[in-house]
Structure formats: C-alpha cells, structure tokens
Structure 1
C-alpha cells in the first residue's frame, strides 16, 4: 500500500528537490507570466541543502514499505506578520492524490504556529490548477497585477 505524506523536508531529500524544482521551473518557461516569475524567483538549485536547514520547506512524499519518493514540495517564508508560499509544486504523475492540499495545509499550520496574520501565494494567469489549489485552502485572490512590456 502506498501512502501520501507531507513532512518537513530534510537533507536526505535534497537530490530529489533539485530535480523536482528543475521540472517546476521548466514547466513555467512557456507559461503566460512564467518568464517574469522565473526572473523574480531565483532557483534554489544547489542551495537546497541550506534551504532545508534555514527555511520552512515541506516535502510531499509517496511512501510504501520499501521506499519514500518525494513528489512535490512547498517553500514557505515568514517575514513579520506575513507568510508567503514562495514555491509549491507537485510532479504531474502524483497530482490528484491530495499532495498539494497537504502541502498547503502544512503551510497554513506553520503560519498559524508562527503567529502570522496573513498567508499569501502566487498563481500565474491561466494556471487554473494552482488557483484551485489555493482556493480549496481558503486562499483567494485579493489583487491582480496586470502589465505589458513597453520595450
């Protein structure tokens, strides 16, 4: 039997997190708003070992009797009274198993434990899956930013 588990990411997850983040970023290259998001959110890349030690990182894991497979992650940053989901991603083959919902549930719990007043995240225009994920967790749009390149 395979179970879906969300837990704090650790040093043993780093190699899988590097690969999954690369997949997440590759998926944004052609997405509307993706190039801008990639510019504003630097890759953690080789810095995952430090990130799991110094930031709040949750891993979504499929577990059976013999192995754990990291299938997604969420990076949460807390600054003052605001918690921000910097990155959230579940690999396509593991979607619809509740892993994304579990990641956001863990983030909400951590934000409450830190005593913050607000939890924020971002979804790209047209990214219905991420928007729905946030809405299921009660996180709704409060501001939509529009832009166009002039040069």
Structure 2
C-alpha cells in the first residue's frame, strides 16, 4: 500500500485566510487539520485543529487548566469569537517544524513515521509540483488495522 492508494482530495487554506473560516471548514468536514498553501499553491504548513484552539483559548487557561473552570459558561462558549479578524498565518508556530510532505510512492510505514515525527494528523502528497491531496491519520490507521 502506497500514499497514492490512501490519498484523498483535501481542502486548503492560504496564509491570509481568516481563522474562523478555517475553523468552519475543519468543523463542516470533520477534518483533523488543513493544508496551508503559499501564493503559488504549494504546501507551506499543516494547520492541525488543535493549533486553532491554541490560538483561541486564553493563555492563562492553557497554563493553569483550573482557571478554565472559573470562567462562567456564557463566556466559555464564546472563546472562538476572539479569532475574528485573525489570519491562518497567526496560528502557525513561530518556529516551523518539518513539513509533512511525501510523494505518491511512500509506503504506509514511511507515512506513519512522518506523521509521528512531525506530530501531524495529515501528510500532504505531492506529485512533482502538484498537490494531489492528503493522507489523514484516520485513513492510515484504518489501513494499518485492516492488515
């Protein structure tokens, strides 16, 4: 089994896309993350859904989870609104990690190793200069467990 057998079409966002639109895309399609592309349409980064949450959740709640409990329910339900007007570029880490990209000939083990090494729930599959789509963690696990 190769990446070409597991790849699916996958939505992309640009660096200047609005974070709330990216979050809506994640939710509407039940995606683990998104492929962020540069102006040329080439993968620039992977934006896991958890990274969107990291930007939205107040830092004090991340540093001390007990503080999240003291925020009243009305305010706790609206924390994503803090992302209004922010861009995907702002969600990306300051020090980018290895970009999880592979070619269509990558094996299941190569894809798994890349996901594990980069802490990414998806891997972009490039065929030369063309983005073919992505292999998701779910598709990879389904395949591995079926063997």
Output the TM-score relative to the length of structure 2. 0.25
What TM-score, normalized by structure 1, do the two folds share? 0.25
Q: Which has the higher strand share?
A: 1
Higher Cα Rg: structure 1 or 2? 2
Q: Which has the higher contact order (CA 8 A, sep 6+)?
A: 2
Going by fraction, where is helix more abundant, 1 or 2? 2
